[in-house]
């Protein structure tokens, strides 16, 4: 089976109730294809010569897809524009910046190509199973693009106050998604790390070079140098760390439900993630009664935990050499762990699946899916759990690159 053979195979539209009612912020609809959100926003900033701090968008959308989303600009132009791969439509004025909380849901239309006809019956059964019991609402690998070659988490080192290591990973560590020029810039830093004058002379003018300039004057002040990394990227690093812990926590709790007899696991950048074993009526009944719940995003700011869950969380965090009380950042004040919670179970609303091309000589069909997910949920997680039971997914564009802005936006 092939996922994302073309951007048109993966379509997502952001649903919001925000409507123009007047105010100082322009509201815009961004339609794009084959372009990541950061690249699209960079185009907007360049086209209108606008400072980054004036723009606000709620969601980060797939590069290898056709997407529709919204953003706002403080005192922005009351016009739109278009180019080869994107279109910006001016919708009117609103009173405040557009944020993630303004997204009600995302609507997906996905075409999965070249599925053997012999697998159709199994996939239809899997869809019914997920409709009844739910998919596990894990953060998918797109969330963890900041994890580079070492597999180390920037947020872990930050919490431990290992500021130099956190900065090194952010600025210099290899990432499989790096573009050629980005690879060259990182290679310079890896080769000459600590030789700041030489690094500055060799690096392109960039945010990365500005941080090196600071280190040239303050050679060992990695704490403040890390704070000079762009705020949006720092937020991404901490979100990835918090999401990694949440995934491992949920997986551990499901292992407990399975009485440590887990047979089905989902490979991911946060390790092998447990899925529930529901082969008996007793398991099915316990699952339905116990697992319609939400779990908080782990941090030291959280003081109330669902009964029977904290020990598992402490065990997960202990593998990183930390305690839950240490999941906080002492510096800088503008970067912190998010508060909130997340559904453990994910249900695709208005799910429809239509088979096309069943009579083709190839013996293969396309499966066209349409469904709606709440904000923050991953369509790829639905697809991956549909295709368990030995059915393989071949992502033509690399599934971990769905949200490139979580990983390797240039500094």
pLDDT of residue 297: 97
Residue with tokens 């959308």: 61
8 Å CB contact between 265 and 271: no
8 Å CB contact between 357 and 320: no
pLDDT of residue 394: 53
The torsion defined by the Cα of 375, 381, 385 and 388, in degrees rounded to 10, comes to 170
Q: Is the pTM of this model over 0.95?
A: no
The per-residue pLDDT for range 85-123, each reduced to its tens digit, is 999 999 999 999 999 999 999 999 999 999 999 999 999
- The residue ranges of the chain whose pLDDT is under 50 are 391, 396-410
8 Å CB contact between 169 and 152: yes
What are the C-alpha distances in Å from 102 to residues 105, 122, 344, 375? 9, 37, 22, 9
d(CA 68, CA 65): 10
* Residue among 313, 243, 264 nearest 133 (CA): 264
* Residue among 215, 29, 59 nearest 142 (CA): 59
* Residue among 243, 252, 266 nearest 377 (CA): 243
d(CA 63, CA 248): 27
pLDDT of residue 70: 98
Count Cα neighbours of 133 within 13 Å in the Cβ-side half-sphere: 19
pLDDT of residue 38: 86
d(CA 387, CA 379): 13
pLDDT of residue 407: 37
pLDDT of residue 1: 64
Which residue ranges form the domains of the chain, and what is each CATH number?
Answer: 10-105 (3.30.70.3160), 154-232 (1.10.1510)
Buried-state track 147-186, b at ≥16 Cβ within 10 A, e below 16:
bbeeebbbbbbbbeebbbbbbbbbbbbebeebeeebeebb
Can you list the pairs that 383-387 forms with residues at least 24 positions away whose Cβ atoms lie under 8 Å? 383/3, 383/110, 383/112, 384/140, 384/266, 385/126, 385/130, 385/135, 385/136, 385/266, 385/275, 386/123, 386/126, 386/127, 386/130, 387/1, 387/123, 387/126
Q: Which residues is 355 bridged to in the sheet? A: 367
d(CA 313, CA 212): 37
What are the C-alpha distances in Å from 76 to residues 6, 37, 43, 53? 33, 18, 15, 12
d(CA 237, CA 231): 10
d(CA 113, CA 226): 44
């Amino acid at each position: 089976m092939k996922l994302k053979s073309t951007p048109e195979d993966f379509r997502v539209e952001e649903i919001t109730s925000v409507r123009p009612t007047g105010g100082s912020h322009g509201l815009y609809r961004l339609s794009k294809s084959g372009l990541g959100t950061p690249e699209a926003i960079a185009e907007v900033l360049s086209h209108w010569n606008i400072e980054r701090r004036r723009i606000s968008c709620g969601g980060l959308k797939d590069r290898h897809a056709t997407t529709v989303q919204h953003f706002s600009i403080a005192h922005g132009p009351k016009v739109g524009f278009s180019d080869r791969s994107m279109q910006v439509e001016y919708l009117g004025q609103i009173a405040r910046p557009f944020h993630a909380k303004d997204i009600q849901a995302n609507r997906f239309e996905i075409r999965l190509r070249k599925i053997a006809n012999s697998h159709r019956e199994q996939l239809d059964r899997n869809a019914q199973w997920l409709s009844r019991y739910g998919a596990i609402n894990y953060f998918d690998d797109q969330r963890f693009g900041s994890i580079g070659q070492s597999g180390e988490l920037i947020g872990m080192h930050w919490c431990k106050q290992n500021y130099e290591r956190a900065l090194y990973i952010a600025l210099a560590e290899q990432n499989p998604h790096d573009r050629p020029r980005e690879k060259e810039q990182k290679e310079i830093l890896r080769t000459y790390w600590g030789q700041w004058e030489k690094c500055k002379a060799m690096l392109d003018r960039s945010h990365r070079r500005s941080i090196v300039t600071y280190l040239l004057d303050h050679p060992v002040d990695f704490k403040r140098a890390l704070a000079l990394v762009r705020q949006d990227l720092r937020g991404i690093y901490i979100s990835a760390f918090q999401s990694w812990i949440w995934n491992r926590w949920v997986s551990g709790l499901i292992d407990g439900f399975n009485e440590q007899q887990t047979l089905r696991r989902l490979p991911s950048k946060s390790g092998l993630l447990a899925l529930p074993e529901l082969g008996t009526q007793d398991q099915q009944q316990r699952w339905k009664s116990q697992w319609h719940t939400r779990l908080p995003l782990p941090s030291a700011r959280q003081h109330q935990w669902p009964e029977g869950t904290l020990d598992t969380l402490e065990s997960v965090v202990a593998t990183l050499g930390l305690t839950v009380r240490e999941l906080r950042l002492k510096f800088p004040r503008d970067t912190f762990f998010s508060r909130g919670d997340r559904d453990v179970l994910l249900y695709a609303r208005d799910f429809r699946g239509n088979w096309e091309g069943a009579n083709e000589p190839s013996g293969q069909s396309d499966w066209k899916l349409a469904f709606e997910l709440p904000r923050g949920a991953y369509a790829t997680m639905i697809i991956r759990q549909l295709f368990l039971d030995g059915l393989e997914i071949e992502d033509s564009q690399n599934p971990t690159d769905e949200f490139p802005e979580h990983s390797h936006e240039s500094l």
